[in-house]
């Protein structure tokens, strides 16, 4: 028997002003995207912004439905739109933010498991590490790759 351990590294910033320009722009796009959420049931507005290698940013927001499971998280809305509309471009980062009653959440929002798996797939497709910025009002967490949010990604097929 061998005991093994996985270490997860991430950086914490105390506000948008601490970020590098490109990260700040992406984080701001995720914040802006929260306004595009369609969340009449949860009233929990999530915004996501995907950065391509060439600098283009695509935004997405959660879309809810009266048949609850038919809705989709902001991250997958953005990622599927990004891949479907620019199938040949590599993605290099995603930023996520959430707001309630028009206020950005204090603590960064952490993506659900299904969205992490989808991020992992697009990281694989892009053949580049996908950085993740989780944006809160006064705290921002930055991960260098999806593996740090989802160890043991399913990629066996
Ligand atoms: N939601 C997201 O958009 N992203 C997440 O990472 C977690 C949850 C959405 C789904 C639903 O519309 C609302 O937030 C409440 O769960």
Question: For residues 155 and 33, what is the distance between their CA atoms, to the nearest angstrom?
Answer: 30
pLDDT of residue 155: 83
The per-residue pLDDT for range 91-115, each reduced to its tens digit, is 999 999 999 999 999 999 999 999 9
The answer to whether 108 and 141 have CB atoms below 8 angstroms apart is yes
Q: Is there an atom of ligand 1 within 6 Å of 75 CB?
A: yes
Q: Is the pLDDT of residue 156 over 90?
A: no
Q: Is there an atom of ligand 1 within 6 Å of 51 CB?
A: no
The per-residue pLDDT for range 31-86, each reduced to its tens digit, is 999 999 999 999 999 999 999 999 999 999 999 999 999 999 999 999 999 999 99
pLDDT of residue 94: 99
Q: Which member of 12, 56, 64, 75 is catalytic?
A: 75
> Can you tell me which atom of ligand 1 is nearest the CA of 112?
6
Distance 153 CA to ligand 1 centre (A): 21
Catalytic site residue 75? yes
Question: For residues 35 and 37, what is the distance between their CA atoms, to the nearest angstrom?
Answer: 6
Of the two residues 12 and 157, the one the predictor is more confident about is 12
Domains of the chain: 11-148 (3.40.140.10)
């Amino acid at each position: 028997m061998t005991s093994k351990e996985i270490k997860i590294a991430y950086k914490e910033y105390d506000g948008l002003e601490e970020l590098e320009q490109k990260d700040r722009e992406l984080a701001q796009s995720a914040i802006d995207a929260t306004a595009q959420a369609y969340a009449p049931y949860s009233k929990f507005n999530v915004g996501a912004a995907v950065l391509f290698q060439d600098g283009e940013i695509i935004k997405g927001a959660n879309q809810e439905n009266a048949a609850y499971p038919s809705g989709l998280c902001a991250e997958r809305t953005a990622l599927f739109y990004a891949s479907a509309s620019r199938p040949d471009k590599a993605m290099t980062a995603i930023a996520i933010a959430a707001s309630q009653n028009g206020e950005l959440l204090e603590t960064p929002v952490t993506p659900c498991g299904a969205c992490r798996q989808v991020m992992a797939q697009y990281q694989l497709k892009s053949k580049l590490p996908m950085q993740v910025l989780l944006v809160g009002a006064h705290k921002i967490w930055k991960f260098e790759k999806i593996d740090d949010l989802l160890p043991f990604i399913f990629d066996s097929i």
